[in-house]
């Protein structure tokens, strides 16, 4: 044994290029494909993390699955056996010490996988939704090593399983712990992925490792915060009888140490008892009194007397010797020991984590170092947000409520539902997560709900929510089905999944709520009453027993909600809990009580967004309606000539169960579209106006605790409820959300023939006194009147400012030729204004507007000669990638070009002015806005990732239009 080798943990990353090949299931012996010496140079290469679909697309073995009907041509992938192989050199220490361990971790295996190292089968797994770690100490070797993974097709693992009465979209998935949306949903195709979708790494430990670290904020007062640190340690056979030492250091964002301590285990060598268990005492050496600034104070726990720290170590000795110890008597029997450290800390004047709309999402850096005596053996570093988050289901008057309190302050949740950002989950780049979370925050959202039919998201998602100050509602991965809670193997698998993800995510500052499932409790009752389900509530034990048990042990202080929706005389009761409003769009008829058969009303009145006004939900966690994707997103993914309203390809983009609903919704508000231009405009306008109508109604309700729109994003280029389409191009509703989700909202409540009511809603941290103007304009640009409203004191929450009768406001003008503009005079955000029509769009008498625009460019930068446009390449758009290759010399030292577009309307009011470019991930500072004749607006154009926007491309391809406009001029100006 070489005790001079470093005992510190060392990680070898195994991401990157792997070899991939498919086989007929069982046709080739596994030992042959797993053999270290197999010649795999003729196998395809693919990236890890990733998946088979993405690798085949990159290598052009299959056509891009999202183009046309190509997803149908890739169905064969799910029927094959797939192998991944990767060889690597290990040149680090390998001592063969009994206290040395090598662990191979896969962050995501999709789904039934058998893992081999150097030809040895080391384990099998059957759960996509968690990481898997294997002890490979016995099979790792110095020099060259080979890892191989076999993925089985799903069919053999579920074909003989019981089929339940209910499992939305396919009956095969309840037995499979895999993302439900892989099998198709009402917004995406069936694309049953397979492969290594998470990172892979080999980690060497000596003597012990840190299993987990959890930093929890227990309480907060005006001057201090109480934190609880805990760490779980696992030690290995052969570890010498020396004390474990845990060093803790907490630094603020500026790098200043605000707390540190050293926890030492004492009395190790004399602790063994005959039955193999022992107690140890832990002593603390704090050095915080030497830190500048006096940022930390320590309180003594009354349970421990002299110290707030304690550790319990237990040992288990295996009586029968192993084969090796039988041959070598000097080896001790195997033993594995567990140790737990905990510390209670009080921070004075802490910097709290807030959502971005209430303050700074400040995070401390926690470093935990484990020593065996004076030898460092493991380190964990993680960000810590000091904050408390609480869900209160009863208000001060004793009434039902559903409101989150952040740092003891009541808040209003403004946000949306998140689905996986691509059907090919493993291949989603980190940039896509950053950009989607950033777009959410920019629109005023402060909460995202991780819907239960996808995955527990990747670390990058939670990191961005922590960093950008966005709360997370986390569903467990159960959606719209019955699950076999009577099967012990299945329940053991689920328990491992739940425990792993709770431990992984519980330290995230953004994590606000655990939720048991999506819509299962509600729809079980609905489908039972309707006669579709005749069985027991299979799965109930998961959400009402197993998950609560795990949370009680691992994360007892965070709110848990069994299902969404849940509560009241029907699980979707607006008077209790949270609610999914699918009266709008799906035509669900309410009120309803438990046991009553569901009723659907597929009529204009049954699906109209006006039904939102009947909903007094305490928290609306799902509601929404379809809109077309943007032009570029659709054209790019459809065969030439198919981008036509009513075409088969357009219909294929819509995966909802009944396409009539969208037609009815538009028929009631805009009228039925006659061509593709009207469809894009009418569906987007209906979605934007409908969501504004609903959100503003919810925010005016003083008992409402939040509204989460269905849905934020798309997983493929389709027509859906998404506010941001697959190419990360926001729809009109997103730009409306920048107003209706503004923390300080000014809104109009109005129905035809009724008074115009002006409301202000303040969700900010401080009460504000405001003054607002209601302006009445005719479409020809004449100001009909103006009315001023004041809050008469500082307001917090919703407040009715006043009203004016419709006839008085119109002053003899036709309501179909008049609109309202609301703006702040004082107290509100500069430039905030909202435009409201007094009649539905189909009734308006819009004139023909004329638009003029110019492009203003500053500080241009040339692209390097021959350089492919990385945005186009990432989007697999070869035509655009090649057209972006710039000839000439490389120019350096210049700033990125800044691009602004100024649009001016004339002749008449311009309704829903929009700017378009045939390029994904373009950021418009504003879009889908209205202009008075003579009014102009300047829009900044940029790329979401901060890269340079090709200016020549903008000048050549920019398209500006409005529902009722014709273009008259365009100019490009270079400075």
- Domain boundary residue, one of 157, 181, 202: 202
Alpha helices in 713-835 (DSSP H): 732-740, 806-810
What length is written for the chain? Answer: 975
Same domain, 195 and 213: no
Q: Which of 932, 930, 923, 920 is nearest to 877 (CA)?
A: 920
Give the domain CATH number at 333. Answer: 2.60.40.10
Distance of alpha carbon 887 from alpha carbon 97, whole angstroms: 60
Token pair recorded at residue 444: 């005023």
Give tens-digit pLDDT for 125-151: 999 999 999 999 999 999 999 999 999
Asked if residues 481 and 457 have their Cβ atoms less than 8 Å apart, the reply is: no
671/689 same-domain check: yes
**Any residues with CB less than 8 A from the CB of 423 and at least 6 apart, and which?**
53, 65, 181, 182, 188, 189, 191, 193, 715, 716
- Between the alpha carbon of residue 560 and those of residues 368, 471, 478, 688, the distances in Å are 29, 15, 15, 32
Closest by Cα among 366, 337, 339 to 229: 366
User: Closest Cα partner for 696 from 812, 613, 817, 777?
Assistant: 613
Please report whether residue 409 resides in a domain.
no
Q: Are residues 815 and 767 in the same domain?
A: yes
H-run or E-run covering 698: helix 676-700
Residue 965 phi/psi, 5-degree rounding, is -125, 155
Do 201 and 14 meet the contact criterion of CB atoms below 8 Å apart? yes
Cβ atoms of 495 and 550 within 8 Å: the answer is yes
Residue 53: strand, helix, or coil = helix
Helix/strand/coil (H/E/C) assignment for every residue in 821-853: EEEEEECCCCCCEEEEECCCHHHCCCCCEEEEE
* Statement to judge: residues 198 and 223 lie in one domain: no
Question: What does pTM read for this prediction?
Answer: 0.90
- Could you give the count of Cα atoms lying within 13 Å of 214 in the half-sphere of its Cβ? 21
**Residue 675: inside a domain, yes or no?**
yes
Helix (H) or strand (E) holding 503: helix 488-505
Identify the CA nearest to 622 among candidates 563, 668, 670.
563
Q: What is the pLDDT of residue 273?
A: 28
Same domain, 90 and 224: no
| Rounded Cα–Cα distance for residues 534 and 364 (Å) | 53
Residue 684 sits at the vertex; the CA angle it makes with 681 and 690, to the nearest 5 degrees, is: 130
Rounded Cα distance between 32 and 38, Å, is 7
For residue 261, the 8-state DSSP code is E
Segment 741-750, tens digit of pLDDT: 999 999 999 9
Reduce the secondary structure of 342-395 to three states and give it as a string. EEEEEEECCCCECCCCCCCECCEEEEEEEEECCEEEEEEEEEECCCCEEEEEEC
Residue 393 lies in a domain: no
Cα 511 to Cα 389, 417, 543, 622, distances in angstroms: 9, 15, 19, 19
888: left (phi over 0), alpha (psi -120 to 50) or beta: left
- pLDDT number for residue 804: 98
Q: What is the CATH number of the domain that holds 130?
A: 2.60.120.260
Q: What is the pLDDT at residue 242?
A: 86
Gap between the Cα atoms of 264 and 244, Å rounded: 6
Q: Are residues 690 and 749 in the same domain?
A: no
Residue 719 falls within a domain, yes or no?
yes
Q: What is the pLDDT of residue 870?
A: 31
Q: What are phi and psi of 149, to 5 degrees?
A: -135, 125
Is it true that the peptide bond before 656 is cis, omega within 30 degrees of 0? no
Q: List the one residue out of 617, 698, 764, 705 whose CA is nearest residue 395.
A: 705
Phi, psi of 353 (to 5 degrees): -90, 125
pLDDT by 10-residue block (mean), the chain, 975 residues:
62 97 96 96 97 98 97 97 97 90 97 98 98 97 97 97 96 97 97 98 96 97 95 90 92 95 66 29 38 36 33 31 29 55 94 98 97 93 98 97 97 98 98 98 98 98 98 98 98 98 98 98 97 97 98 98 96 96 96 95 96 97 98 97 95 94 97 97 98 98 98 97 98 98 98 98 96 98 97 96 98 98 96 97 97 85 41 36 41 66 96 97 97 97 92 93 82 47
Among 630, 668, 715, 620, CA closest to 186: 715
Which residues, 6 or more positions from 716, have their beta carbon under 8 angstroms from its beta carbon? 66, 188, 189, 191, 422, 423, 726
Rounded-to-integer distance, Cα 194 and Cα 178, Å: 10
Residues 602, 668: contact at Cβ < 8 Å? no
Q: 881: domain range?
A: 849-974
What would the pLDDT profile of 680-696 be if each residue is shown by its tens digit? 999 999 999 999 999 99
Q: Which two tokens stand for residue 305?
A: 């007397």
Q: Residue 395 domain-assigned?
A: no
Concatenate the DSSP letters of all residues of 526-538 into one string: HHHHTTS--S--T
Return d(Cα 678, Cα 230) in angstroms, integer.
59
Instruction: Indicate whether 898 belongs to any domain.
Output: yes
Kindly state whether residue 389 falls inside one of the protein's structural domains.
no
Q: Which residues of 804-813 are buried (b: 16+ CB within 10 A; e: fewer)?
A: bebeebbeeb
> Same domain for 235 and 375?
yes
Q: Note the maximum CA span of the chain.
A: 105
Tell me which residue of 373, 377, 379 sits closest to 269, measured CA to CA.
Answer: 373
Q: Return the axis-axis angle of helices 488-505 and 547-554, rounded to nearest 10°.
A: 40
**What's the confidence (pLDDT) of residue 238?**
83
Q: Based on the domain organization, do 749 and 737 belong to the same domain? A: no
Measured CA to CA, the distance from residue 736 to residue 745 in angstroms comes to: 12
- How does DSSP classify residue 718? S
In a domain, 546, yes or no: yes
Residues 187 and 75 occupy one common structural domain: yes
Are residues 923 and 879 part of one domain? yes
Of 407, 415, 420, nearest to 451 (Cα)? 420
How many CB atoms neighbour CB 398 within 10 A? Answer: 7
Q: What is the pLDDT of residue 887?
A: 40
The pLDDT score that the predictor gives to residue 83 is: 98
Q: What pLDDT does residue 751 have?
A: 97
Q: How far apart are CA 634 and CA 648, in angstroms?
A: 13
- CA 646 and chain centroid, separation: 33
Looking up residue 521, the CATH number of its domain turns out to be 3.20.20.80
Cis peptide before 591 (omega within 30 of 0): yes
Backbone torsion region of residue 646, taken as left when φ is above 0, otherwise alpha when ψ lies between -120 and 50, otherwise beta: left
What's the structural domain count of the chain?
5
Burial of 450 (C-beta count, 10 Å sphere; 0-12/13-18/19+): buried
Structure token pair of residue 875:
């989007």
Would you state the structure tokens that stand for residue 257, as one six-digit string? Answer: 């140490």
Domain boundary among the residues 683, 709, 741 is at 741
How many C-beta atoms lie closer than 10 Å to residue 440's C-beta? 29
Whole-angstrom CA distances from 610 to 362, 493, 721, 814 are 41, 45, 17, 22
Same domain, 668 and 572: yes
Q: What is the pLDDT of residue 332?
A: 28
Same domain as 460, residue 349? no
Q: Mark which of 688, 711, 741 sits at the end of a domain.
A: 741
């Amino acid at each position: 044994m070489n005790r001079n080798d470093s005992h510190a943990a060392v990680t070898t990353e195994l991401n990157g290029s792997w070899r991939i090949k498919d086989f007929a299931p069982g046709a080739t012996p596994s030992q042959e494909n797993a053999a270290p010496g197999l010649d795999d140079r003729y196998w395809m290469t693919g990236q890890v993390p990733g998946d088979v679909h993405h690798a085949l697309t990159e290598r052009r073995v299959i056509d891009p699955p999202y183009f046309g009907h190509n997803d149908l041509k890739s169905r064969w992938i799910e029927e094959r056996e797939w192998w991944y192989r990767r060889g690597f050199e290990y040149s680090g220490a390998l001592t063969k010490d009994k206290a040395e361990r090598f662990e191979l971790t896969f962050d995501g295996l999709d789904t039934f996988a058998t893992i081999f190292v150097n030809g040895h089968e080391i384990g099998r797994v059957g759960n996509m939704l968690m990481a898997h770690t294997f002890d490979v100490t016995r099979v790792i070797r110095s020099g060259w090593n080979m890892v191989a993974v076999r993925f089985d097709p799903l069919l053999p693992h579920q074909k003989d399983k019981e089929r339940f009465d209910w499992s939305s979209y396919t009956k095969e998935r309840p037995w499979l712990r895999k993302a439900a949306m892989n099998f198709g949903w009402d917004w995406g195709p069936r694309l049953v992925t397979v492969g290594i979708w998470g990172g892979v790494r080999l980690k060497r430990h000596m003597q012990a490792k840190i299993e987990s670290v959890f930093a929890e904020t227990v309480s907060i007062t005006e001057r201090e915060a109480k934190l609880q640190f805990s760490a779980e340690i696992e030690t290995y056979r052969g570890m010498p009888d020396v004390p474990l030492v845990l060093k803790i250091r907490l630094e603020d964002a500026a790098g200043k140490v605000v707390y540190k301590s050293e926890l030492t285990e004492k009395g190790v060598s004399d602790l063994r008892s005959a039955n193999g268990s022992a107690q140890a005492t832990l002593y603390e050496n704090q050095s915080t009194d030497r830190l500048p600034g006096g940022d930390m104070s320590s309180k003594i726990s009354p349970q421990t007397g002299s110290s707030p720290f304690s550790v319990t170590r237990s040992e288990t000795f295996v009586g029968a010797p192993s084969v090796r110890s039988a041959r070598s008597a000097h080896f001790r029997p195997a033993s594995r020991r567990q140790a737990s450290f905990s510390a209670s800390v009080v921070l004075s004047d802490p910097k709290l984590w807030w959502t971005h709309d209430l303050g700074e999402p400040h995070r401390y850096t926690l470093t935990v170092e484990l020593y065996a005596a004076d030898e460092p053996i493991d380190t964990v570093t993680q960000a810590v947000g000091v904050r408390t988050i609480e869900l209160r289901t009863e208000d001060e008057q004793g009434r039902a409520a559903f409101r989150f309190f952040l740092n003891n302050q009541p808040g209003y949740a403004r946000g949306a539902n998140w689905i996986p950002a691509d059907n090919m989950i493993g291949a989603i780049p980190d940039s896509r997560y950053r950009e989607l979370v950033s777009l959410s925050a920019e629109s005023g959202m402060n909460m995202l709900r991780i819907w239960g039919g996808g995955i527990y998201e990747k670390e990058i998602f939670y990191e961005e929510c922590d960093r950008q100050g966005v709360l997370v509602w986390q569903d467990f991965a159960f959606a719209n089905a019955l699950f076999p809670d009577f099967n012990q193997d299945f329940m053991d698998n689920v328990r491992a999944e739940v425990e792993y993800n709770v431990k992984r995510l519980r330290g995230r500052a953004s994590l606000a709520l655990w939720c048991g499932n999506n819509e299962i409790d509600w729809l079980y009752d609905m489908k039972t009453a309707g006669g579709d389900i005749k069985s027991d509530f299979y799965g109930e034990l998961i959400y009402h027993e197993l998950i609560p048990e795990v949370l009680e042990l691992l994360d007892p202080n965070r709110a848990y909600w069994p299902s969404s929706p849940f509560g009241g005389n029907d699980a979707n009761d607006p008077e209790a809990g949270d609610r999914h409003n699918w009266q709008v769009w799906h035509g669900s008829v309410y009120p309803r009580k438990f046991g009553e058969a569901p009723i659907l009303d597929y009529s204009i009145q049954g699906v109209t967004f006006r039904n939102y006004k009947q909903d007094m939900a305490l928290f609306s966690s799902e509601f929404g309606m379809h809109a077309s994707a943007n032009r570029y997103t659709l054209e790019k993914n459809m065969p030439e000539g198919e981008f036509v309203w009513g075409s088969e390809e357009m219909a294929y983009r819509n995966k909802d169960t009944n396409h009539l609903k969208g037609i009815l919704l538009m028929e009631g508000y805009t009228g039925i579209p006659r061509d593709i231009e009207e469809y894009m405009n009418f569906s987007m306008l209906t979605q934007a106006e409908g969501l504004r109508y609903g959100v503003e109604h919810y925010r005016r309700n003083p008992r409402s605790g939040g509204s989460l729109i269905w849905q934020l994003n798309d997983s493929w280029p389709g027509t859906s409820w998404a506010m941001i389409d697959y190419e990360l191009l926001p729809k009109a509703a997103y730009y409306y959300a920048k107003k209706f989700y503004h923390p300080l909202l000014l809104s109009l409540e109005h129905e035809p023939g009724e008074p115009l009511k002006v409301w202000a809603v303040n969700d900010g941290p401080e009460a504000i006194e405001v003054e607002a103007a209601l302006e009445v304009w005719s479409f020809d640009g004449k100001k009909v009147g103006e009315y001023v409203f004041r809050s008469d004191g500082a307001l917090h929450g919703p407040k009715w400012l006043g009203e004016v009768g419709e006839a008085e406001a119109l002053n003899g003008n036709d309501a179909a030729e008049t609109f309202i503009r609301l703006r702040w005079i004082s107290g509100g955000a500069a430039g905030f204004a909202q435009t409201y029509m007094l009649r539905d769009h189909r009734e308006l008498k819009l004139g023909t507007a004329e638009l003029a625009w110019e492009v203003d460019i500053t500080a241009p930068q040339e692209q390097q000669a021959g350089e492919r446009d990385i945005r186009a390449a990432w989007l697999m758009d070869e035509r655009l990638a090649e057209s972006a290759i710039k000839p000439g010399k490389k120019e350096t030292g210049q700033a990125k070009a800044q691009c602004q577009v100024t649009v001016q309307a004339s002749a008449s009011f311009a309704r829903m002015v929009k700017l378009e470019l045939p390029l994904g991930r373009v950021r418009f500072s504003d879009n889908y806005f209205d202009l008075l004749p003579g009014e102009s607006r300047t829009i900044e154009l940029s790329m979401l990732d901060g890269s340079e926007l090709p200016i020549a491309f903008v000048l050549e391809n920019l398209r500006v239009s409005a529902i009722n406009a014709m273009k008259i001029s365009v100019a490009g100006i270079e400075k």
